[in-house]
Amino acid sequence: MPHSHAIVWMDSKEARIFRFNASDVEKAHFQAHNQFRQVHHKAGVIGAGHMDLDAGFFDHVVEALHGATEWLLVGPSTAKLEFLKHLDTHRAELRRSLVGTETMDHPTDGELLDHARRAFKAIDRMLPNSPA
């Protein structure tokens, strides 16, 4: 049975992706190679606040989402916003299948999967019935 739903939890260091259906779950985990680096400045010193995440990290996440018809994006940081910009530029078809984005701290794998299952139950109830 295909895994049509997915949830991506992402921060500047890693991404955890769960693809699932009613009876099965697949998990993928990727580390960012070029993680955001927060730079705190002393007064009067000018410099960049962070570096962008590398496209290879995003490409791994995109590959892990292959075949998902609907997915959620969650996480605590701005990494998910950078990922959305990447999708807008490079993978608009995947961006269209995104059904929600939320701020979420650092859940356990079980908490993340429970959240996704509850969210998709609510989303599926709101969708119109298929034409006969």
Residues 101-117: tens digit of each pLDDT: 999 999 999 999 999 99
Residue 38 falls inside a structural domain: no
Residue 77 falls inside a structural domain: yes
- The CATH number that applies at residue 113 is 3.30.420.60
Distances (CA, A) of 110 to 20, 62, 116, 118: 13, 22, 10, 12
Residue 119, pLDDT score: 94
Counting every residue written for the chain, the total comes to: 132
Residue 84 falls inside a structural domain: yes
DSSP state of 131: P
CA 5 to chain centre: 12
Residue 41 falls inside a structural domain: no
Residue 45 falls inside a structural domain: no
The whole domain housing 20 covers: 5-32+51-126
Give mean pLDDT, residues 25-48.
Answer: 64
- Number of folded domains in the chain? 1
pTM over 0.85: no
Residue 109 falls inside a structural domain: yes
The model's pLDDT over 38-64, given as tens digits with 9 standing for 90+, comes to 444 444 444 444 446 678 999 999 999
